[in-house]
């Protein structure tokens, strides 16, 4: 798990935490529709754009350190390895497999639009590649949740958050794994296929 000094630089994601003060994209990019502030839209910048574009195509990306003797995978994405501080860190398609570490069912949330979604299951999951990730578990009754249960990633499109001409904004969430054998689960197959396709090397990372 990731401990130690937090890197405070650019690129911190707020995918699963309600951002405090983001301008609502929908207010400026749409000519009609509700103008109420919303707190579920991630801030996409040059560094995190590959992550959100991949999510829009149904792929979960993590970051992998390539420094000799390290190789740590981490999430949320950072431009430096949180263990060895190497800048030799690249994007990698995750398998989408995870196990449930802990959860909390949220019954009250005053921040729009979360109030319209309660109750929902805020969760922390351990990705198969190692990183621990804050997310949401969907499609599973609270009584069925179990620590260590197998999950696979799904993607929820943020309604009303699409900017014209851009791909949909999607948030990774997790559902109960559809197959007891993760190697044959459809999601795993999809993720493997995605991994074998060409992810451009990200040494420069655009925004760094
Ligand atoms: Zn490292």
Report the chain (208 residues): mean pLDDT per 10 consecutive residues.
41 44 44 67 92 95 98 97 98 98 96 91 98 97 97 92 79 87 41 41 41
Predicted pLDDT at 201? 44
- Which SS3 state, helix, strand or coil, does residue 65 take? strand
Distance from residue 71's CA to the centre of ligand 1 (Å): 6
Distance from residue 29's CA to the centre of ligand 1 (Å): 39
Residues contacting residue 158 through CB under 8 Å, at least 6 positions apart: 40, 41, 168, 169, 170, 171
Distance from residue 194's CA to the centre of ligand 1 (Å): 24
Reported as half-sphere exposure (CB side, CA atoms, 13 A), residue 2 has a value of: 25
Predicted pLDDT at 28? 43
Predicted pLDDT at 179? 66
Predicted pLDDT at 164? 75
Predicted pLDDT at 203? 43
Predicted pLDDT at 35? 61
Question: Residues with Cβ within 5 Å of ion ligand 1?
Answer: 65, 67, 70, 72, 81, 83-84, 86
């Amino acid at each position: 798990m990731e401990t130690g000094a937090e890197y405070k630089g650019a690129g911190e994601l707020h995918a699963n935490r309600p951002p405090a003060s983001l301008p609502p994209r929908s207010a400026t990019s749409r000519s009609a529709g509700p103008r109420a502030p919303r707190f579920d839209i991630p801030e996409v910048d040059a560094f995190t754009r590959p992550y959100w574009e991949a999510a829009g195509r149904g792929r979960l990306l993590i970051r992998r350190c390539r420094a000799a003797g390290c190789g740590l995978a981490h999430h949320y994405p950072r431009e430096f390895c949180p263990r060895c501080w190497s800048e030799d860190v690249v994007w990698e398609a995750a398998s989408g497999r995870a196990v449930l570490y802990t959860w909390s069912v949220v019954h009250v949330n005053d921040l729009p639009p979360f109030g319209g979604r309660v109750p929902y299951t805020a969760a922390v999951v351990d990705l198969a590649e190692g990183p621990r990730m804050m997310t949401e578990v969907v499609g599973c009754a609270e009584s069925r949740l179990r620590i260590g249960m197998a999950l696979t990633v799904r993607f929820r499109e943020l309604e009303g958050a699409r900017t014209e001409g851009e791909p949909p904004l999607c948030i990774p969430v997790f559902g109960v794994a559809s197959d007891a054998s993760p190697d044959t689960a459809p999601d795993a197959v999809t993720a493997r296929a995605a991994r074998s396709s060409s992810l451009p090397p990200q040494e420069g990372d655009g925004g760094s």
